[in-house]
Amino acid sequence: MIIETIEHTFSICKVEDFSQVDPNVRFTFISKTDEENSLVCPTEMVPSNTIERNDGWKAFRVQGTLDLSLIGILSAISKILAENGIGIFAISTFDTDYILVKENDLQRSIDALSDSGYTVIN
């Protein structure tokens, strides 16, 4: 399986509302529940109506389109990273999965995934 690194540095945010979010910006992930409005976006695109934020995240994408019936892809990747003491923030889309790790864990993540048989491309 091929895992691709994404060039941006990301922020994970809680926002008042989405009025200042440009949904056309690549790699913008919006989530709304009954309790919160969450946003993951490139750090330079964090809106001013952010309530809380956590900066310094880098992202990987499982390359290709994953069949929704596939089981265990995210679990296998997260297990490898957990075994190496690396925390994650996971996002799933219709086509694939994204895994975010803190910027200072990026190289250890690449090494751990490569050592486990994944091809990681930059």
Cα 45 from Cα 25, distance rounded (Å)? 8
Taking only the tens place, the pLDDT of each residue in 85-108 is 999 999 988 888 899 999 999 999
Q: What pLDDT is stored for residue 67 in this prediction?
A: 47
* Chain centre to alpha carbon of residue 78: 12
Taking only the tens place, the pLDDT of each residue in 38-88 is 999 999 999 999 999 999 999 999 875 544 445 557 888 999 999 999 999
Cα 42 from Cα 55, distance rounded (Å)? 9
CATH says 2-121 is which class?
alpha beta
Taking only the tens place, the pLDDT of each residue in 19-31 is 999 999 999 999 9
The pTM is what? 0.89
- The residue ranges of every structural domain in the chain are 2-121
